[in-house]
Amino acid sequence: VSAPDLAAIAARWTANADRYASWGDIAHGHPRYRAAWIAALADLVGHPRRDGTPPARIADVGTGTGEVALLLADMGHHVQAFDIATGMLEHARAKPAPPGGSVAFAVGNAYELPLPPASVDVVINRMVFWTLHDPPGALHEWQRILAPGGRIVVIDGLHFAAGRSPAQRIRRARTRMFWALEARIAGRRHRGSTATAGSRNDHTDNGPPPGTTWTGAEDAHRQFSDAGLRPTSFTWLDAVQRAQRATAPLRWRLAGLLPRFFAITWEAP
Ligand SMILES: C[S@@+](CC[C@H](N)C(=O)[O-])C[C@H]1O[C@@H](n2cnc3c(N)ncnc32)[C@H](O)[C@@H]1O
């Protein structure tokens, strides 16, 4: 794997940060969707405030606008959250920290985190794995910072319709139409400026992220075996998807933008 151009990737995500923040906030602003994520996270890492599990030291890698980090802190965990895109982190830091919660945001790269070996109980990330150009390399780095008995939790989804089935083709066409419309609307909003909608997640010189070609969850799963790791569990987060379907804006649903989320975990010896 050639070294990803991290500066270009960071710039790309920073350029999209405002739009990303407005999206994330819309969805998470809904109590039902938020509750579904809390329940899913509780299953994966425990909920100290509710079920008395001991608080875990958690690294949220690729935290973006900090949604998962803030939920975990609110649940009673000790969270350190990292991202390479400063524009994303600005949004995360601007959000109110949960009362009594422990969360710190810092610049950090998934392949080389600013943490000592064996210093966290959980490495978690959501919707980050698909963007990584060297997932096994990242998994090895996460292994390095995990304490014995610690756990990697990768939450992701099939964000792009890459398959050849008729259903996938239709979804792809709907999504393309959606982006074309968004670009026109954004173009109108930014008339006279050079801003564009930045509608595609191609990471400049790196080419599109590998996750854009995933056709099934096994493509994510395979990254673990490529790293020499055998996952401990695989779970479809169906309750999250039901809540998402029920609460997301109609135009996202029409555009086929609602991925089916899954979680893959691996436990350190
Ligand atoms: C789709 S967003 C997900 C954000 C957040 N985890 C969430 O669930 O809303 C992907 C994030 O991964 C970050 N990212 C991509 N490559 C990274 C890397 N090598 N190191 C750290 N963060 C990275 C991006 O900057 C972006 O904020």
Q: Give all strands (DSSP E) within 130-254, no chain letters.
A: 146-157, 233-236
Predicted pLDDT of residue 206: 65
Q: Whose CA is nearest to atom 10 of ligand 1?
A: 128
Is the CB of 110 inside a 6 Å radius of any atom of ligand 1?
Answer: yes
Q: Whose CA is nearest to atom 8 of ligand 1?
A: 126
pLDDT band at residue 196 using 50, 70 and 90 as cut-offs: very low
Helices and strands counted in the chain (H then E): 11, 7
Amino acid 40 reads A
Closest ligand 1 atom, residue 63 Cα = 6
pLDDT digit string, tens, across residues 153-166: 999 998 877 788 89
Predicted pLDDT of residue 117: 98
Is the CB of 63 inside a 6 Å radius of any atom of ligand 1?
Answer: yes
Predicted pLDDT of residue 57: 98
Q: What per-residue string of b and e applies to 88-106 under the rule 16 or more CB within 10 Å gives b? A: bbebbbebebbeebbbebe
194, 199, 202, 208: CA torsion to nearest 10 = -170
CA 64 to ligand 1 centroid distance, Å:
5
CA 239 to ligand 1 centroid distance, Å:
23
Mean pLDDT of 102-123: 98
CA angle in degrees (0–180, nearest 5) for 232-110-66: 90
Q: How far separated are the first and last CA of the chain, in Å rounded? A: 28
pTM of the model: 0.91
CA 31 to ligand 1 centroid distance, Å:
24
Tell me how far CA of residue 129 lies from CA of 53, 134, 165, 186, 223, in angstroms: 27, 9, 24, 28, 9
CA 191 to ligand 1 centroid distance, Å:
29
Pocket test for ligand 1, best of 12, 131, 153 (most atoms within 8 A of CB): 131
Q: How far apart are CA 190 and CA 133, in angstroms?
A: 32
Predicted pLDDT of residue 178: 85
Q: How far apart are CA 3 and CA 11, in angstroms?
A: 16
